[in-house]
């Protein structure tokens, strides 16, 4: 029964993340952090499929995880594949809803946060750069949240420089919305960190 619930959480969480990205984030060229952010930058600049780029960027991270953090590998691989698939599968929804950018950044962040939270409640995630943050945390003792914030900041700063200052400001709002929503969803289970 637990594995059925976990599978349902993976699918539902992936759909929430994909809806948040396609309905609200992509139409205004907003970024998330982590591998999703890298995939979105590639999508905005060169038209690549976001989900495909997320998988490509994640390959070296998962190879590293296979050797040094096997539990992370197993708990995140299906999440990565599912949400990357749904991001590209649901991409035709990009122009379905028209909202002001500020509201889109908030709502998109909330949906992604709900998706992250659902997965984290079952000890799974979408993988990504948060593994790097966890690994550095274990080696240095510095809080994992600081590393995640640092990595996400680099990605949205680069995205802001390549795209626009508006992209940067809206992305900051989105990341805050994701973090707050994920924390609320996972607070009952005692989790505190959002995986991307």
Q: What is the tally of structural domains in the chain?
A: 1
The number of beta carbons lying within 10 Å of the beta carbon of residue 182 is 26
How far apart are the C-alpha atoms of 98 and 130, rounded to whole Å?
31
Range of the domain at 66: 2-186
In this structure, the dihedral spanned by the alpha carbons of residues 100, 104, 105 and 107, taken in order and rounded to 10 degrees, is 140
Residue 129 counted as domain residue: yes
Q: What is the pLDDT along the chain (196 residues), one digit of tens a residue?
A: 778 888 898 999 999 999 999 999 999 999 998 999 999 999 999 999 999 999 999 999 899 889 888 887 887 888 889 989 999 999 999 989 889 999 999 999 999 999 988 888 887 777 788 778 777 877 888 877 688 888 889 999 999 999 999 999 999 999 999 988 988 888 765 444 444 4
- Residue 144 contacts residue 195 (beta carbons within 8 Å): no
> Residue 48 is encoded by which pair of tokens?
């690549």
Tell me, yes or no, if the pTM score tops 0.95: no
Maximum CA pair distance of the chain? 47
Residue 34 counted as domain residue: yes
> Residue 69 is encoded by which pair of tokens?
């953090």
């Amino acid at each position: 029964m637990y594995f059925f619930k976990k599978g349902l959480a993976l699918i539902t969480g992936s759909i929430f993340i994909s809806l948040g990205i396609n309905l609200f984030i992509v139409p205004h060229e907003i970024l998330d952090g982590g591998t999703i952010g890298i995939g979105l930058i590639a999508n905005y600049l060169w038209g690549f499929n976001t989900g495909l780029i997320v998988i490509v960027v994640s390959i070296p991270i998962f190879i590293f995880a296979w050797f040094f953090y096997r539990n992370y590998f197993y708990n995140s691989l299906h999440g990565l594949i599912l949400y990357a698939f749904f991001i590209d599968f649901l991409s035709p929804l990009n122009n379905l809803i028209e909202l002001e950018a500020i509201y889109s950044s908030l709502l998109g962040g909330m949906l992604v946060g709900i998706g992250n939270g659902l997965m984290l409640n079952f000890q799974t995630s979408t993988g990504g750069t948060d593994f790097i943050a966890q690994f550095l945390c274990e080696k240095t003792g510095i809080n994992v949240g600081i590393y995640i914030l640092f990595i996400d900041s680099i990605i949205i700063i680069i995205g802001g420089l390549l795209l626009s200052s508006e992209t940067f400001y809206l992305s900051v709002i989105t990341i805050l919305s994701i973090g707050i929503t994920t924390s609320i969803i996972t607070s009952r289970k005692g989790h505190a960190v959002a995986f991307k």
